[in-house]
A and B are shown apart, each in its own frame.
Chain A
Amino acid sequence: MNHWLVAPVVLPAFVGPLIVLGMRHDLVLQRVASVAATAAQLAIAIWLMTQAAGGEVQVNRLGNWAAPFGIVLMLDRLAALMLVLTGVLALVVQLYAIGSGWDRKGWHFHALWQFQLMGINGAFLTGDAFNLFVFFEILLIASYGLMIHGGGEMRLRAGVQYIVYNLAGSSLFLAALGTIYAVTGTLNMADLSVRVAQMPAGDTALLRVGAVLLMLVFAVKAALVPLHFWLPSTYARAPGPVAALFAIMTKVGVYGIIRFFMLVFPADSAIERFAADILLPAALITLIVGQLGILGSRHLGRIAAFAALGSVGTLMIAIAQFRLPGLAAGIWYMIHSTLAAGALFLVVDLIGSRRQGGSLWLRPMPPIAQGGIVAALFFAAAIGIAGLPPLSGFPGKLAILQATRYSADTLLIWTTILVTTLLAIYGLSRAGSMVFWRAYEHGTDPARLDHSHDAQRPLPPKVEPDEPVQDVADAASPALALTAAGALVAGMVLLTVLAGPVMDYAQATARQLADPMPYIEAVLVRQEGTK
């Protein structure tokens, strides 16, 4: 039994309340404690990853109860990878939030941040279906608070939609768990796997209902079409760093789909085939909707949100068949997609904080401060999310194309991925050139300003700030913000350089997922010394 498994859950669970109760009035103290806690989580996650990399599934039985009765925390390669990914993203984005001054635009940012991390870490670690629901609720309730951080009319309105959508999702989750429990009599994932496999094929009607409900819940989280409607407005209206952290939240849904359909519902069963048949078209349409959305949006935040949606679609195409090469490619792409979406949201926030009135609408406006660096970062993030070389989106998409080479729908998949990539490139380059290159058309460039026509020239329209105004001057440290956004881009470079070793790990992860026996044995068989 490995007691380190509780650390990623317990640490933020202690630091969060500590910040609320003891450091409420001291922002510096909050920042120090919160960054230290996030960094410690990352360190623990890396330490856990070195243990999981060997292939042995680690178990922690909470309260030392015997397995199907007590709650277990499980660590395999996939869970360890997701923990590390969460830690990296959270640490960098948190530094951005401090650098950009977002964390002082409202109350309790750092406490909510820790609770959010507690929920995400717990969801990746737990081996119990109902416990997964509880961690989902923890991460959701923290995300509601983070989503409306800073306030403002549109943000609150989008927040209400987000919360209602996810409450409906939570009800579905409970209904799904109830159905599954009514059929199998257990909620421990490993035990479920055993019992589902033993069930005669004729008796699985109710179980299939439960499985489809469960898939719907995870699809809501992952924002698969047609359950994606909450995503664009939520991500576009959320504070930049929060939207960047949410890049890992859609992956929680993807993780749930992988975990349940690889572990609980056996390979090649009717349930799994049915799920695969629905998932592939849904993933393809998600990709199309996402990339068309980039083209159709007039708001930088929405462009970033649709880009994130498109990357989830690409990811699900790889995973949808629950087969080895696709799964490995999907896991690899999941790392990339999290970094790329996070980077894009941060860069969009950098742009917004430098434009007049915090406006993110696509139209020519006066040039922004540090325009060169921000433009370069936007260029890199756009390349990353669109999947062009040299950044990691390219090997990721290549791996997915290669993995789907021998599937039944190769032509359809390849055409969709390649055409939509073109759409994304077009949409993102149009947005970038509007923001950075047409900046002078506003009539503010002193070199081009023609004073003789001043009398006829209509005054520039007054801009109603639709966001609470955020200025560069307000930021604690613009350099830290720029560095943090750059760090995520650097992460993509690093992922490209280390593509080989990471791909080896992804393949090992996929192989481990494809063979659930060691996982089940670790939970149910080796139980010496339990109560």
Chain B
Amino acid sequence: MEILVATAIGFMTAAGVYLTLRKRTFAVVLGMTLLSYATNLFLFVTGRLVIDQPPILQKGVESYTDPLPQALVLTAIVISFGMTAVVVMMALGAFLEGGDDHVDLPATDRREPRPRPAQDEGAR
């Protein structure tokens, strides 16, 4: 089971990193989502993998599963969910304002855009 979970986390991280490095915002958003899934799963298994064990103290029970990572992962899921919503809205805003969905900034971020040539009155 450890091997299965570990490879799943690894595959998701790899796919997430690949997608995050793409040029279009949609792929990047998907990549961030996969990355956060992988991280959440990783966080979940930091309490060790155990099956059928209670997380809460009970009489007559010897072994437990660690409840803390489960609490942490709940927080992390909520936060990453909210963050995904924010990044989708921002990407949509940038797409609607800028007309394309490229993640990289155009050269006009660093260099002044060329001024529009003044209209020649005499030619008309």
Contacts and interface: CB of A to CB of B under 8 A. Distances in A.
B58 to A, nearest CB: 18
B6 interface: no
A171 B36 contact: yes
A160 B87 contact: yes
Contacts of B118: 458-462
A276 B28 CA distance: 33
A464 B116 contact: yes
Contact of B105 (A174, A233, A460): A233
A134 interface: yes
B28 A158 contact: no
A156 B97 contact: yes
Nearest to B69: A181
Contact of B87 (A152, A164, A178, A361): A164
Nearest to A462: B116
Nearest to A144: B86
Interface string B23-54: 00100100010011011101100110000000
A159 B46 contact: no
Given A141-B86, A144-B86, A156-B94, A461 B42 contact: no
A168 B20 contact: yes
B110 A298 contact: yes
B8 interface: no
A299 B72 CA distance: 43
Interface in A153-167: 153-154, 156-161, 163-164, 167
Contact of A164 (B28, B36, B40): B28
Interface string A446-478: 000000000000111111101000000000000
Interface string B101-112: 001111011111
B60 interface: no
B97 A178 contact: no
Interface in A233-289: 233, 236-237
A137 interface: yes
A273 B38 CA distance: 31
Interface residues of A, number: 47
Contact of A178 (B25, B42, B117): B42
A148 B111 CA distance: 21
A66 to B, nearest CB: 15
A163 B92 CA distance: 13
Contacts of B38: 171
A321 interface: no
A141 B81 CA distance: 12
B32 to A, nearest CB: 5
Given A182-B46, A461-B118, A157 B94 contact: yes
Interface string B78-93: 0110110011001101
Size class of the B contact interface (CB-based, 8 Å): 35 or more
A134 B97 CA distance: 31
A187 B43 CA distance: 13
Contact of A363 (B39, B46, B112): B112
Contacts of A483: none
A157 B108 CA distance: 12
Given A141-B83, A298-B110, A164 B20 contact: yes
Contacts of B82: 141
Contacts of A156: 90, 93-94, 97-98
A195 to B, nearest CB: 15
B115 A174 contact: no
Contact of B116 (A153, A154, A361, A461): A461
Nearest to B98: A153
A302 interface: yes
B105 A161 contact: yes
B5 interface: no
A64 B108 CA distance: 55
A171 B38 CA distance: 9
A2 B115 CA distance: 60
Given A157-B94, A168-B35, A171-B35, A361 B43 contact: no
A302 B83 contact: no
Interface in A325-352: none
Interface string B42-77: 110011000000000000000000001100100110
Contacts of A141: 82-83, 86
Contacts of A311: none
A164 B16 CA distance: 12
Residue from A158, A170, A178 with most neighbouring chain B CB atoms (10 Å): A178
Residue from A148, A170, A299, A361 with most neighbouring chain B CB atoms (10 Å): A170
A160 B36 CA distance: 17
A460 B87 CA distance: 40
Given A144-B86, A171-B39, 8 more contacts: A141-B82, A148-B90, A151-B97, A158-B105, A168-B32, A181-B46, A182-B47, A459-B118
20 contacts: A134-B79, A153-B98, A157-B98, A159-B93, A161-B103, A163-B86, A167-B32, A167-B36, A167-B87, A174-B42, A174-B76, A175-B42, A175-B43, A177-B43, A178-B72, A187-B68, A299-B112, A459-B118, A462-B115, A462-B118
Interface of A: 130, 134, 137, 141, 144, 148, 151-154, 156-161, 163-164, 167-168, 170-171, 174-175, 177-179, 181-182, 187, 233, 236-237, 297-299, 302, 361, 363, 458-464, 466
Interface of B: 20, 25, 28, 32, 35-36, 38-40, 42-43, 46-47, 68-69, 72, 75-76, 79-80, 82-83, 86-87, 90-91, 93-94, 97-98, 103-106, 108-113, 115-118
